[in-house]
Structure 1
Amino acid sequence: MATGIDISGLIKWAQRDEWAEMWEDVFWEHVGSGCESFDLDTDDLPRVLGEHQFMNLWGCAFEDFLTRSRSSDGQTIVADYLKRCGWKEPVPVKRYMQALGTSVMSLYEVSDIVPGESFLARDLIRGGEPVRISERSASRMLKPWDKIGARVVEYSGKTVMGGGALVFDAAAAERLLSAMAELQKRMRREVRKIAKDAGEPLSDAAAREATALIVLMNSAWVFTGVWLDHYLPRVLGLKRPKLVNHDGDDIVFCTTRYPWASGTGAEAIRDRLRRVPDFAEASDTFWNWIGRAPAADAGGGEPTQVAGPVAEILSTTLDTGELVLGNIEIIDGAVVLTTNSMARKERGSALLAECLGDLVRPPLTEIQTVEQAMAESAGRSPAPSGPPSEAEVEIVRKSLDAHYRETLDTPVKMLGGVSPRAAVRTAKGKEKVVAWLKYLENQSHRNPDETLASYDLSWMWEELGVPDRRR
């Protein structure tokens, strides 16, 4: 278990005839939908998920089982076990079992991590102030603003996490929160009606609190169901859907190289590129070609619909929210345009031809399909690497400082098309800014490049006047 507390006696008790069938039913509630959707048996799950992930899933289901009452006599397995075998267990273990037996699973946002010791966890469903969780192993693996489904209980003067804990990425967390919000919406009417009929009408706040608790007491299986539905396709290696970009074009990687004409210099090229409004300069040798997707996306709606099989959208956006249509780079006496579709290659080439004119010679284009790119990547040996020098780290830090400082005064799509500095002037805008900062920080810490992952974004919270929300 995550707490290191031994409840093996209780686990063994669940195998007894009077509890085994109920446990199997509860476990199936948690995994049945995922197994049926992907044609799996429960025995397949350890192999498919991996032992570690399976045990986390199993722990979520078992801790839910501990809260269930037997229909024949209304007794829980915890009460039954402690009544008949409690004399075998130390007092702290008995108290932990009892705490689990009355706990609920919720979704928590992680912050202020002390590796090997603890982290803060904010309940995203019930709200309230974050609590300090004493936890050794998970605190070494979690990143700021990760979201985890878990049970939090009081034990021996500490707040600890149960053994069943699942990490939800941003998409899965959003899906779970939407499902829970819908369940609460339906239940709130019933809660109000019951209270009114009993002559004790509830305030809005009390109704929300009671509804959230009731829903959480009865919906642990929703957490595991959403997690499995989101996680299984990845680990099963299912056939990848058709890849398209945000315009609906099939993904084809195009590299178009424009050799410099005789006598052309880098400064002349830079001067021309800087005249194009849609070319956002990232450095002296690199530009992002930015623009908007089709009209539906311009208003923040869905990307272009693609006829035929379900498609996976492959797109890149800047931190400011603009869609990246391609990149322009100065490399070894040439200007190189890279795009992810033939249509974008044609559009980008037309822009460059008009922009650069006689500074460059006719281009050559190399085309690579997704399958070819994957095959090449699979056969390529990793480049030797080592820890970056202090000078390299400092260069990266200064570049990121400059980039993010400029971003604070730039319209950001996630903030409704206004700059972060403008957004924090209103209460609603401030909420969006906090969510945006959390997103940036979480993605930064999960970057495989250690130099980028270690970049400290805390100054942005201070700059925008919301350091108290960074918890």
Structure 2
Amino acid sequence: MRNDISDLLNFVGRHEVWRDRLQDVVAEHLMPALEEFDLEDEELSELLGEPWPGVLWGCGFEDFLGRRYDDENIIDLYLKRRGWKEAALNRDYFAALRDTPVSLYEVSEVKSGTSMVLRDLLGGAEPVTVLEQSATRSLKQWDRIAVRVVAERDNHVISGALLAFSPDAVELLFDGLRGALKLRKRDALRLTTDQLHACAPIFTSAWLFTALPRAMFPPQPTFCNSDGEEVMFHDLRFPLAAGVTQKDVAACLNRVKALIPEKRHFWNWLAPRRTRPHTQAEGVMLDSQLEGRTVLGSLELKGKSLLVTVNSIERAAKVEALVKEAAGERLKPPLTTIRTVEQMMAEERPERTLEGADEIPPQIARQITHDYLDKHYRETLDAPLPALGGKSPRQAVRSAAGRAKVLDWLKLIENRSAQNGDALISEYDFGWMWDELGLQEHRR
């Protein structure tokens, strides 16, 4: 088997000098992070779980296979003394692995259980199709991975040590490489084969320096709205004053420009159209868009009350003032109920269980979801986005710098969608957006 390294490992283990060298290289990969977080080797298993300790050791091992000590290399020595025991395919693979550096690749065109296309983000090589079964079952479009891509006769395969890089790990890696190579921030990162070989431990360190804090201190999800306010659902119930009808209140509300009727006795409270985007808020943003404007809340006349729902304490105060100004004494002071995101989720869970997803045929649920996403993203193409410097995607693609930002933005939202646990979302096809923005040729 090509990936059977047992004889090679036994060979290294029988030679104390080479065994010590291997341990030293593995330590180069692991020790910076272990010392920074005051951890022992064995604690990696407890924190990260399987298979990561083995994968991390493999990163050091593969680096060791390409190193030379006084012009001696372990692969050369092994093939010279024991190569006759190996199949020709295995000998070729070991030799290729010796000469192939680790690099950072962008994943595209994933065919689960079969293949994927990898684009080298550091070495500048042309994209290659890699034959791979296991990794393609978990990797998604536009993932970033650190791995060795090994040429094997007419095909390409990947080595055993693969690390999936999050956006913050990529940023840390790039900073580390620039520091090691004494490059400026604006300098392009194009590394030679020798430079990639020499920088191999930086890849492992960058991954560990982002993975370990998440494992040691799991982040608690935070929720905000598009104004950066903490999400706290407020339900305000304004009782109608004696003798006041729904028609009286509706007439008042219909005169408010920010209140857009959706149906009889129901209004969406919309924010003004923005000329500038808000600063990107931290946390998961909970807001929806309607006609390119943020929905700040909803109002509905039911029975003898006006029911108002918003998602922050700030918006609750604003909508109360808005309603009082519009309806005056036709409404009594509101009774307010406040709920957290966790409470809302807990309340909705039993309903979902009782209603059951089976009540909606899968193909209908898929169509509804994808129609909604179509509408949402069509509006987004014309909306100013912080990630694009306040320009809409359609505006940004008109310049070379803007086009690069749009490409990064498209890859980010497509990758996040692919990672979503809900199949209705993860299966959504973003191809039409690339077409509409004239970027289809970059989608590989």
TM-score, with length taken from structure 2: 0.80
Q: Is the CA contact 1:19–1:77 (under 8 Å) kept in the aligned structure 2?
A: yes
Distance 1:178 1:79 in 2: 34
Q: 1:432 aligns with which of 395, 405, 408?
A: 405
Counterpart check, 1:404 vs 2:393: no
User: More deviation in 33-42 or 450-459?
Assistant: 33-42
**SS state at 1:256 partner:** strand
Q: 1:314 aligns with which of 272, 278, 283?
A: 283
CA 1:87 to 1:411, structure 2 compared with 1: closer, same or farther past 3 Å?
same
Match of 1:64 in 2: 63
Counterpart check, 1:161 vs 2:158: yes
CA 1:454 to 1:289, structure 2 compared with 1: closer, same or farther past 3 Å?
farther
Q: 1:76 aligns with which of 61, 73, 76?
A: 73
User: More deviation in 326-335 or 48-57?
Assistant: 326-335
Match of 1:463 in 2: 436
User: Which amino acid in the other structure matches residue 103 of structure 2?
Assistant: S
CA 1:187 to 1:447, structure 2 compared with 1: closer, same or farther past 3 Å?
closer
**SS state at 1:234 partner:** helix
Match of 1:14 in 2: 12
CA displacement at 1:458 relative to structure 2 = 0.3
Q: 1:107 aligns with which of 104, 107, 132?
A: 104
Q: Is the CA contact 2:226–2:286 (under 8 Å) kept in the aligned structure 1?
A: no
CA displacement at 1:63 relative to structure 2 = 0.6
Distance 1:457 1:242 in 2: 27
Distance 1:452 1:359 in 2: 44
Distance 1:269 1:442 in 2: 46
Counterpart check, 1:225 vs 2:205: yes
User: Which amino acid in the other structure matches residue 285 of structure 2?
Assistant: T
Counterpart check, 1:236 vs 2:223: no
CA 1:409 to 1:253, structure 2 compared with 1: closer, same or farther past 3 Å?
closer
CA 1:363 to 1:404, structure 2 compared with 1: closer, same or farther past 3 Å?
same
**SS state at 1:51 partner:** coil
Distance 1:159 1:318 in 2: 44
**SS state at 2:285 partner:** coil
Q: Is the CA contact 1:325–1:344 (under 8 Å) kept in the aligned structure 2?
A: no
Q: Is the CA contact 2:107–2:140 (under 8 Å) kept in the aligned structure 1?
A: yes
Distance 1:270 1:129 in 2: 64
Give the structure with higher Rg (CA).
2
Match of 1:276 in 2: 258
Match of 1:417 in 2: 390
Counterpart check, 1:362 vs 2:361: no
Q: 2:172 aligns with which of 170, 175, 191?
A: 175
Match of 1:95 in 2: 92
User: More deviation in 386-395 or 82-91?
Assistant: 386-395
Distance 1:243 1:441 in 2: 21
**SS state at 1:19 partner:** helix
Q: 1:270-320, CA deviations, whole angstroms, 9 ceiling, x for partnerless residues?
A: 97598329x9x9xx876676999xx9x95x6x87xxxxxxxxx43527799
**SS state at 2:42 partner:** helix
Q: Is the CA contact 1:184–1:212 (under 8 Å) kept in the aligned structure 2?
A: no
User: Which amino acid in the other structure matches residue 316 of structure 1?
Assistant: M
CA 1:347 to 1:217, structure 2 compared with 1: closer, same or farther past 3 Å?
farther
User: Which amino acid in the other structure matches residue 257 of structure 2?
Assistant: R
CA displacement at 1:145 relative to structure 2 = 0.5
Distance 2:228 2:333 in 1: 28
Match of 2:236 in 1: 257
CA displacement at 1:96 relative to structure 2 = 0.8
Match of 1:197 in 2: none
**SS state at 2:405 partner:** helix
CA 1:438 to 1:185, structure 2 compared with 1: closer, same or farther past 3 Å?
same
Match of 1:308 in 2: none
After TM superposition, the structure 1 = structure 2 runs for residues 377-392 of structure 1, keeping only pairs within 5 Å, are 383-384=352-353, 385-386=356-357, 388-389=360-361, 390-392=363-365
CA displacement at 1:41 relative to structure 2 = 0.9
Distance 1:453 1:359 in 2: 48
Q: 1:63-121, CA deviations, whole angstroms, 9 ceiling, x for partnerless residues?
A: 11111223xx4312211221221111111111111111111111111011111111111
Q: Is the CA contact 1:187–1:215 (under 8 Å) kept in the aligned structure 2?
A: no
CA 1:430 to 1:365, structure 2 compared with 1: closer, same or farther past 3 Å?
same
Distance 1:215 1:400 in 2: 44
Q: 1:444 aligns with which of 407, 417, 437?
A: 417
After TM superposition, the structure 1 = structure 2 runs for residues 136-151 of structure 1, keeping only pairs within 5 Å, are 136-151=133-148
**SS state at 2:311 partner:** strand
Distance 2:374 2:42 in 1: 51
CA 1:20 to 1:406, structure 2 compared with 1: closer, same or farther past 3 Å?
same
The percentage of aligned residue pairs carrying the same residue is 36
CA displacement at 1:331 relative to structure 2 = 7.4
Distance 2:252 2:95 in 1: 69
Q: 1:375-408, CA deviations, whole angstroms, 9 ceiling, x for partnerless residues?
A: 9969x77953546522232222222222222222
Aligned alpha-carbon RMSD (Å) = 4.1
Distance 2:78 2:283 in 1: 53
Match of 2:39 in 1: 40
CA 1:269 to 1:131, structure 2 compared with 1: closer, same or farther past 3 Å?
farther
CA 1:429 to 1:285, structure 2 compared with 1: closer, same or farther past 3 Å?
same
CA 1:15 to 1:467, structure 2 compared with 1: closer, same or farther past 3 Å?
same
**SS state at 1:127 partner:** coil
**SS state at 1:179 partner:** helix
**SS state at 1:418 partner:** coil
Q: 1:338 aligns with which of 297, 311, 321?
A: 311
CA displacement at 1:442 relative to structure 2 = 0.8
Distance 1:359 1:214 in 2: 78
